Structure 1
Amino acid sequence: MQKLLLYLILLCSLLSYSQNKRIEITGMLSDKLGKVVDAHVINITSKQGTFTNINGEYTIPAKLGDEIKITSIQHHDLNVVVAGISIKSKKLDLLLNLKEYVLEEVEVKKTYLSGNLGTDSKEIKKSDKQAVMENLGFNPYPKRLTKIEREIKTAYAGGIQYGLGVVASLDYIINSASGRIDKLEKQKELLDNDSKLKQLKVTYKDYIVNELKVDSTKISRFLYFAHFDDNFTEAYKKGNLELIQFLKNQAQLFNIIQKENKSKITD
């Protein structure tokens, strides 16, 4: 009887461990035009991410219930929760929807311009709305918040008054206690990094390939590798000179690792 009980306890422990352990899931991203290359695949739950290769394929550790987010410049973001069938097959193929870019309707008014920027700029009058907002101390061109920024702002919004006139946000207390604010801010950090990496790829693509000698098919992987360094954010903020030196140092490490991995495979 004791042996049977011990066996059942051991079996339950093994089942629990297998359910909580992340496994490598592979998949392919595509849209109506074909394979999606260099899309960012993020496991929001485990804070891990990767990029799709030239065939639209990716591999990422995941377990049942993990939330996977797909981001791509040309596509709408996609969030999916890993289901049992994906764990069983170790496969998760997804279809992305392309963004449709529509120009906003604009009103063209007749103006009399001389072609001299200094003179013409004085002749352009402010709109009534812009003038009123500036007189009241408001910015007539406020920054448009992203979706995640709006969610964070909502999590902090609202308030109650207690004690000696001290105002505390009720939403903040609830969302802070539940961990929602931490989750949203970490998600924003991931998305901000994703945006930075895409911008770096567009700006420094030729430099990375021609000067740093990084394989053109591994640019996204190199930038993803580099952004984990503690000096990434500081170098990004300081601009070109600091960033170029930072990328140069990272490329040396990246190329060494790539050579070592290649030699291991050939051995």
Structure 2
Amino acid sequence: MELWIPITIAAAFLQNVRSAMQKHLKGVMGTTGATFVRFGFGAPFALIFVAVLHLGVGYELPAVNARFILWMLAGGVGQIAATFLLIYLFSFRNFAVGTAYSRTEPAQAAIFGLIFLGERVSAGVLAAIAISVFGVMLISVAHTPLSWRALLTSMASRNALIGLASGTLFGVTAVAYRAASLALGGPNFMMQAAITLAWVILFQTLIMAAWMIWKDRAEIGRIARAWKPALIVGLAGASASFGWFMAMTLQQAAVVKALAQVEMIFTFASAVFFFRERINLMEVAGCLLIVGGILLLLAVG
């Protein structure tokens, strides 16, 4: 088994933990605060990852260059906006379905990978992505009478458009992070991922903190009062991001994000066991299609 596969599965699980905790935080603070904790409370852990690899393991620190900075900034801004939209979406739909709308990310990452990096994916990988995305579309109409018209018109709803916009930004972000990590040129995928994560998350923390100081200082107090669960979000988020960055240094962003659809399985488990949400047969069918797409991806990838 290629190393990027277990790394991606672990990152997907940790991302689901982070998302579940962020939904909990959405009940005690605003969307801005719930978005900030992912970055602000994750920054110390990102720096610890770098310190362990450099001081503990002995890996050299790579030299930062202009190409790295440009891609890092693009990914950092895109991820803030994508995360904000995804958390905002939780206000309108249940946890599992709300997350599903952003799952067109792999298909969009394949397009952006081709445009920005000239990376092509095989027909088998494209088929795997299409099957998984179709599963997401089924989930999006799970609570409406099923028809082709319903399947297509649902994609133009407000909730779907917010989710699709989030997926677009996540797709751009994934490609940007892969480009940034590769721009470092060494010493190895772990240190490249750790340095990319540290720069990105510190940048995001500064941007979000400045925004709250300017626009919503009361949110800072709400974040401070919820520091314990916010710390869990930070640890899970930073660990998940470290996993994504390592996987995307080893493999194309679109392929990594296609396998990352396994997160939907974890999301459904969270929805049922923690949030006590009802999942119907259409959502189960969509989930099975996602699994089928992942299995095809592993077979042809």
With structure 1 as the length reference, what TM-score do the two structures score?
A: 0.23
The structure with the larger Rg is: 1
Greater relative CO, 1 or 2 (CA 8 Å, sep 6+): 2
TM-score by length of 2: 0.21
Which structure has more helix as a fraction of its residues?
2
The structure richer in strand per residue is 1
